[in-house]
Structure 1
Amino acid sequence: MGTRFESLDDPGFQGLFDDFEYSAYRLESLQVYGVPYELAEFERFRSGEARGEFPGIAEWAERVARRTREGRRFHRVHVVIEPLSDYVRFECAWCYRHTVAAGEEVRMLAVAEGQWPEGLPQADYWLFDSARLVRMDYADDGTFIAAEVVDDPEQVVAANVQRDRAVYLSVPFGDFAADFDDLMRRR
Structure 2
Amino acid sequence: MGLRLLGTPSKDGGCPSLYEIEETGEIVAQGERLADPDHLAQLRDVKESEGFVVLPRELLVRFAPREAHVPDLIPFEEASHLFSEFEHTAWRLETQRGYASDQEIPEWQRFLRGDYVGCFDPTSPWDANIRRQTNEGKRFERVRIVDDPPTQGQLFLLASGLGNVEAGEDIRNLYRADARRLRLPDYDFWLFDSRVIMKFDFDDEGTCLGVRLIEDPTEVLGACQVRDLAWHHAVPTTRFQEQVRSRG
The offset of 1:57, in angstroms, is 8.9
1:99 has 2:168 as partner: no
Q: Specify the code of the residue in structure 1 equivalent to 2:170.
A: E
Describe the shift of the 1:186–1:101 C-alpha distance in structure 2 as closer, same or farther (beyond 3 A). farther
Q: Distance in 2 between matches of 1:83 and 1:61?
A: 28
Percent of residue pairs identical: 33
Q: Distance in 1 between matches of 2:101 and 2:90?
A: 20
Q: Distance in 1 between matches of 2:97 and 2:90?
A: 21
Q: Distance in 2 between matches of 1:19 and 1:57?
A: 20
Specify the alignment match of 1:108 in structure 2. 173
The offset of 1:110, in angstroms, is 1.4
Specify the alignment match of 2:80 in structure 1. 14
Specify the alignment match of 1:5 in structure 2. 74
Q: Distance in 2 between matches of 1:119 and 1:126?
A: 18
Describe the SS at the equivalent of 1:101.
helix
What TM-score does the superposition give when structure 2 sets the normalisation length? 0.65
Instruction: Choose which of 238, 244, 248 in structure 2 pairs with 1:174.
Output: 238
Describe the shift of the 1:52–1:148 C-alpha distance in structure 2 as closer, same or farther (beyond 3 A). closer
Q: Specify the code of the residue in structure 2 equivalent to 1:165.
A: L
Specify the alignment match of 2:225 in structure 1. 161
The structure having more radius of gyration, on CA atoms, is 2
The offset of 1:154, in angstroms, is 0.8
Structure 1 unmatched ranges of 5 or more: none
Question: Is the CA contact (8 Å cut-off) linking 1:119 and 1:165 kept in structure 2?
Answer: no
Describe the SS at the equivalent of 2:129.
helix
Specify the alignment match of 1:134 in structure 2. 198
Describe the shift of the 1:38–1:116 C-alpha distance in structure 2 as closer, same or farther (beyond 3 A). farther
Q: Distance in 2 between matches of 1:55 and 1:36?
A: 16
Q: Specify the code of the residue in structure 2 equivalent to 1:5.
A: I
Specify the alignment match of 1:86 in structure 2. 152
Greater mean alpha carbon deviation, residues 153-162 or residues 115-124: 115-124
Q: Distance in 2 between matches of 1:54 and 1:46?
A: 20
Describe the shift of the 1:123–1:61 C-alpha distance in structure 2 as closer, same or farther (beyond 3 A). same
Q: Specify the code of the residue in structure 1 equivalent to 2:126.
A: W
Superposed CA deviations along residues 60-97 of structure 1, whole A, max 9, x for unmatched, are 1111011000111000000111101111111111x210
Q: Count residues in correspondence.
A: 179
Instruction: Choose which of 89, 99, 102 in structure 2 pairs with 1:33.
Output: 99
Describe the SS at the equivalent of 1:148.
strand
Higher RCO (C-alpha under 8 Å, 6+ residues apart): 1
The offset of 1:43, in angstroms, is 3.1
Describe the shift of the 1:132–1:56 C-alpha distance in structure 2 as closer, same or farther (beyond 3 A). farther
Specify the alignment match of 2:50 in structure 1. none
Question: Is the CA contact (8 Å cut-off) linking 1:57 and 1:99 kept in structure 2?
Answer: no
Question: Is the CA contact (8 Å cut-off) linking 2:119 and 2:166 kept in structure 1?
Answer: no
The offset of 1:174, in angstroms, is 1.8
Question: Is the CA contact (8 Å cut-off) linking 2:147 and 2:175 kept in structure 1?
Answer: yes
Q: Distance in 2 between matches of 1:129 and 1:57?
A: 27
RMSD, aligned CA: 2.7
